[in-house]
Amino acid sequence: MRPFSRPLPKYLFPTALAGALLLGLQAAPAADEEPAKGPAVTVLKAAKSCFSDIVEATGTIIAREETSVRPERPGLKVTELLAEAGDTITAGQVLARLSLPEGGTLQVTAPVAGVIASSTAQIGAPASAKGEALFSIVARSEYDLVGLVSTSDIRKLATNQQASVRIVGAGDIDGKVRRIGPTIEPNIQQGMVYIGIATPRRLLLNSSARALIKTGQSCNVAVPLTAIQYSPAGTVVQVIRRNRVETKRVETGLLAGGQVEVREGLNEGDIVVARAGALLREGDPVRPVMASAEKK
């Protein structure tokens, strides 16, 4: 005799069918994803960043305007010195006193405010209108860095652009592009730029200096320099899609702090191989590991 059996109640059919379908959906992998396999590769998400376009100029410090101080008549002698090189002075300040041949004294005053760059005045020494200047003043404490800039960069310059000037022995001082030379030196293919500096500090004339001039800013996707690879096909990065390596050609721009601006070829959020190299090739399967997670 066959075992007793009876048909399932009709109200159970929809439940059983739904359960079977659910099991089938869970068992089948997504069509557009592959299980991670292959070597572990450190990756990161391409993110937007802003880069400053910096032009470098190197040169020397000069006085923008230098004023010489001499007595107006001959036959005088220095009897008293009230200022010396390096002093910051005001207009009309008494710098020295001189003796007159007929008796009495003559005061030598500063015609402008500024910094005394040099002085030849010595007590007892003669002073005259035609002799060596007793004092040389950097008028209004205004200096210029006269610098050279490459031909490719000079076209980026414009007056009033901000600059950070580093002077040997004096540190960093703020400056501003004051004037751009109209010609290029043919032998070295560089142009001249004058960067104005106003500071109460005494700067040593003819000191070597370097200026970093901010000429603009651009914001684009950025990746580490290590993610960039140079090949016969051009500049490329390696991205990960569906756990496989893809090579994308890119156009790079500015560089700052180890980050490279990518102007074309990469989108924000793309998963990029942090250290591109010849060991990874197009289509290779990999197991991506986010850089932030690897550091923890």
Q: For the chain, what is the radius of gyration of the CA atoms? A: 37
- CA-based max dimension of the chain: 156
Q: What is the pLDDT of residue 34?
A: 57
Q: Could you report the per-residue pLDDT of 20-32, keeping only the tens digit for each?
A: 333 343 434 444 5
Distance of alpha carbon 10 from alpha carbon 265, whole angstroms? 59
Which of the pair, 222 or 294, is modelled with greater confidence? 222
Rounded to two decimals, the pTM is: 0.66
53 and 218 Cβ atoms separated by less than 8 Å: yes
Q: What is the pLDDT of residue 7?
A: 42
Structure confidence at residue 195 as a pLDDT band (50, 70, 90):
very high
110 and 90 Cβ atoms separated by less than 8 Å: yes
Length of the chain: 296
Over range 194-215, report the average pLDDT. Answer: 91
Q: Could you report the per-residue pLDDT of 147-179, keeping only the tens digit for each?
A: 999 998 999 999 999 999 999 878 889 999 999
